[in-house]
Structure 1
């Protein structure tokens, strides 16, 4: 019994004391617009994305999350924009976010569970001051052509 408790305690420590990994998807349409979702949890605009499920890699998560949240398909993964790991980046949990740029196509649809709205914005039309988490920084790094480790 003591051995089981030791294992359970170690497992809980790993789960609750280590950051979780996720991705942000900077999805670019052929006309140069960027896809943003209006989040149901905080009402702010953000990049599509989410947590890595067991057995997934970042490319798979980017494709899955973009499709689930927007209905769009990834046609190409272009580049790594950055890895964002600051404890302050997400108010819910300590997460490590891998941001990637992708080309996307398809018909936009809203995921009613996670999002209120999905829109495509030209860079100059992205809502100022209304972005969730650290997505403003991720987009600034993207537009500046940076690859960031933060």
Structure 2
């Protein structure tokens, strides 16, 4: 009985920790065309808002929740799928698969979470000058080129 229980827990832990987690990046566009970026506390780099999908949540629900939690903004209209990014080294913390989605947003932005140092609206040409966290440079490049990437 103990051996079976031990085997069960090893299998559960293997499934949990040996599979990638799913997350979203939101490319938030204001009505004036500026793009919202958040400065991360962990590496002091700019990035798109986003985060991991919670259990029982759809990708669309995650987009709405993460955008509001991190910036105070609301999704006005979902835009296009920019890409799915799955390189094992795209996030130094763990293997994650990121779905990047463009969204028209509204509201007043403000820092709402401890993991965020700052929020700023950038013109697209100014975003291109920044070194973004994780693989968000690639996501932004694909967004600007109108691509839908599978990377």
Q: Give the TM-score range, shorter chain.
A: over 0.9
Gaps of 5+ in 1: none
Query: Aligned residue for 1:39?
Result: 40
In the alignment of these two chains, the number of paired residues is 150
SS at match of 1:22: strand
2:113 is the alignment partner of 1:87: no
Deviations 1:60-96, CA, capped at 9 Å, x for gaps:
0011000011000001111110000001111110000
Q: What are the residue-to-residue correspondences of 1:14-93 with 2, within 5 Å?
A: 14-93=15-94
Structure 2 residue aligned with 1:6? 7
What is the CA–CA distance in structure 2 between the aligned matches of 1:25 and 1:129, rounded to whole Å? 17
Instruction: State the TM-score, normalizing by the size of structure 1.
Output: 0.97
| Deviation of the 1:29 alpha carbon | 0.5
Cα distance, 1:128 vs structure 2: 2.5
**Distance in 2 between residues matched to 1:68 and 1:82, nearest whole Å:** 22
What is aligned with 1:123? 124
Question: Match of 1:12, SS?
Answer: helix
Q: Alignment RMSD, CA only?
A: 1.0
How far apart are the structure 2 equivalents of 1:129 and 1:142?
15
Runs of 5+ unmatched residues, structure 2: none
Runs of 4+ in structure 1 over 6 Å off: none
Q: What's 2:105 paired with?
A: 104
Q: What corresponds to 2:141 in structure 1? A: 140
Q: Secondary structure at the match of 1:107?
A: coil
Aligned partners of 1:146 and 1:33: how far apart in 2?
A: 19
- Residue 127 of structure 1: how far off its partner (Å): 6.0
Q: State the Cα distance separating 1:5 from its structure 2 match.
A: 1.3
Q: Counterparts of 2:14 and 2:69 in 1: how far apart (Å)? A: 30
